[in-house]
């Protein structure tokens, strides 16, 4: 996940400002690969039985949506992509941290071996659920406004086909993330799992989980400051591609 975020930063910080003509030239090819990547990574995620691998492919799938936003080359889409990257950082950290707390207790990330954890560690389960909702851009989370900006610009620039593809990929991602949550936390545990012995969250873990549970809705409902924070930078960058500045 760190490599993906570093690549996004490299595009925004170096590639776009230094070689805008090359970016415009390669735009159709990058968009095509991004649309393929949305579905390919989502398809691979649906085949995973390991929670760690499933989350990794989920991040790759959603990064493809972010790439669509970047290479739309419009101010509103660039802003959405930047905010989507920030959202992935927050929500992805929440998902991986909660997964780590699960592994710490069960010594496994195999979904077929997990189940019934919500009875023992409900706060960790809620934090995992909220972070997953933010990843797929549900209303009330930071991902909603960011995804909306990307899709709004995509339908204006590329038409319905690319936008529908990105939206459907997001729906697939929501499906397998919710399935992973259901399987790990809500599905009945078998007797051999022995999860009745799983330790409950200690105070530090309780605070970490509560932090993500509160952070996602707060940022989601008070998103305007983040829009204003990125407005100047994306407007400056967008002038390289002769797009219309975004205002709020």
What's the Cα-to-Cα distance from 166 to each of 31, 32, 154, 158, 187, rounded to whole Å? Answer: 11, 11, 9, 12, 30
Mean predicted confidence (pLDDT) in 28-52: 91
- Chain-centre distance for alpha carbon 79: 16
pTM of the model: 0.88
19: which 2 tokens? 């070689």
The answer to whether residue 246 sits within a structural domain is: no
- For residue 149, list its beta bridge partners: none
Residue 244: band (very low, low, confident or very high) from pLDDT cuts 50, 70, 90? very low
Count how many domains the chain has.
1
Q: Which residue has the tokens 């100047």?
A: 232
Number of C-beta neighbours around residue 211 at 10 A: 13
All residues at 6 or more sequence positions from 60 whose CB lies less than 8 Å from its CB, including other chains: 4, 37, 41
Q: How far is residue 239's CA from residue 212's CA, in Å, rounded to a whole number?
A: 36
% of the chain at pLDDT higher than 70? 93
At 62, the pLDDT band (50, 70, 90 cuts) reads confident
pLDDT in tens, 79-122: 999 999 999 889 989 999 999 999 998 888 999 888 889 988 99
For the segment 168-187, the average pLDDT, to the nearest whole number, is 89
pLDDT, the chain, mean: 88
Q: Give the pLDDT band of residue 8 (cuts 50, 70, 90).
A: confident
Domain assignment present for 247: no
Tell me which residue range forms the domain holding 60: 2-241
Lowest mean pLDDT among 5-14, 89-98, 124-133: 5-14
CA separation for the pair 89, 112 (Å, rounded): 28
Asked if the structure places residue 248 within a domain, the reply is no
The three-state secondary structure class of 50 is strand
pLDDT band at 196 (very low <50, low <70, confident <90, very high): low
CB-based contacts of 111, cutoff 8 Å, min separation 6: 48, 49, 50, 51, 54, 180, 183, 184
Instruction: Kindly state whether residue 113 falls inside one of the protein's structural domains.
Output: yes
110 φ, ψ (degrees, to nearest 5):
-75, 125
In a domain, 223, yes or no: yes
- Cα gap 56→4, rounded to integer Å: 11
Q: Are 91 and 135 in contact (CB under 8 A)?
A: yes
Report the alpha-carbon distance of residue 248 to residue 230 in Å, rounded.
11
Give the sign of the dihedral formed by CA 226, CA 17, CA 58, CA 3. Answer: negative
Instruction: Report yes or no on 85 lying in a domain.
Output: yes
Q: Torsions phi, psi of 78, nearest 5? A: -60, -40
């Amino acid at each position: 996940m760190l490599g993906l975020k570093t690549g996004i930063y490299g595009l925004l910080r170096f590639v776009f400002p230094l070689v805008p003509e090359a970016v415009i030239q390669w735009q159709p090819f990058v968009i095509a690969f991004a649309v393929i990547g949305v579905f390919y990574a989502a398809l691979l995620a649906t085949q995973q039985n390991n929670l760690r691998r499933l989350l990794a492919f989920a991040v790759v799938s959603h990064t493809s949506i972010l790439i669509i936003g970047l290479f739309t080359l419009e101010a509103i889409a660039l802003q959405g992509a930047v905010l989507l990257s920030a959202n992935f950082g927050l929500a992805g950290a929440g998902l991986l941290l909660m997964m780590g707390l699960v592994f710490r207790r069960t010594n496994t990330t195999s979904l077929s071996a997990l189940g019934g954890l919500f009875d023992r560690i409900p706060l960790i389960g809620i934090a995992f659920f909220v972070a997953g909702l933010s990843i797929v851009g549900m209303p009330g989370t930071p991902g909603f406004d960011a995804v909306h900006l990307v899709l709004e610009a995509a339908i204006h620039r590329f038409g319905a086909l690319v936008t529908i593809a990105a939206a459907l990929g997001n729906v697939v991602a929501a499906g397998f993330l919710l399935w992973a949550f259901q399987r790990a936390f809500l599905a009945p545990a078998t007797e051999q799992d022995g999860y009745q012995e799983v330790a409950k969250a200690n105070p530090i873990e309780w605070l970490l989980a509560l932090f993500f549970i509160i952070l996602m809705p707060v940022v989601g409902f008070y998103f305007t400051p983040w829009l204003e924070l990125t407005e100047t930078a994306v407007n400056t960058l967008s002038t390289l591609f002769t797009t219309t500045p975004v205002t709020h």
